[in-house]
Amino acid sequence: MPILDKWTLDFISSSVEQTVRLGVRLGELLQPGDVVCLYGDLGAGKTAVARGVGRGWGTGLRVTSPTFTLVNQYPRLKDGRVLYHVDCYRLESAADVWTVGLEDIFDDRQTMIIEWPERLAHLLPADRLEIHLAYLNETRRSLRFSATGPRAANLLADFKQSAFGV
């Protein structure tokens, strides 16, 4: 597990379960306004990470990919705060983004997981945690965590401590 610097972390997951567990550790640390962007091709493991984040966040609902609905909401059992799970795969233009109303979610500084965030790059906050996933083989996935601002750097540091003890 190379820790490149305080802004990045590389990791190879050896199973879907391990990828979900990493998501759980991350979800336990999320605060209002945190944005986690999941990059990667189809089958790279984005939804496995999101499923774990939802579990760690504390929702009682099963996290699924919102590909056909674009946005799913997952309230936390202990306080009702909502985790927004956005899947931008089907968005093709700025008009699509406006029609769905994603600006409102960003303006309210909600906690979000975004799959295919490159499709709404103009809305992404400067301070976010990016996870770039890549398919290596049937069971292994490469994950590169990158922080783009001070809050994301703190989140990444807390994640490194929680997941790996470093």
Q: Which residues of 24-39 are buried (b: 16+ CB within 10 A; e: fewer)?
A: bbbbbbbeeebbbbbb
pTM of the model: 0.91
Question: Residue 153 has what pLDDT?
Answer: 97
In this predicted model, what pLDDT tens digit does every residue of 107-146 receive, in sequence order?
A: 677 899 999 999 888 888 999 999 999 999 999 999 999 9
- For the chain, the domains span 32-43+55-141
Return the H-helix or E-strand segment holding 141: strand 141-147
We find that the CATH architecture of domain 32-43+55-141 is: 3-Layer(aba) Sandwich (3.40)
Between residues 96 and 122, which one has the greater pLDDT?
122
Question: Residue 64 has what pLDDT?
Answer: 83
User: Average pLDDT, stretch 40-60?
Assistant: 94
Residue with tokens 């799970």: 85
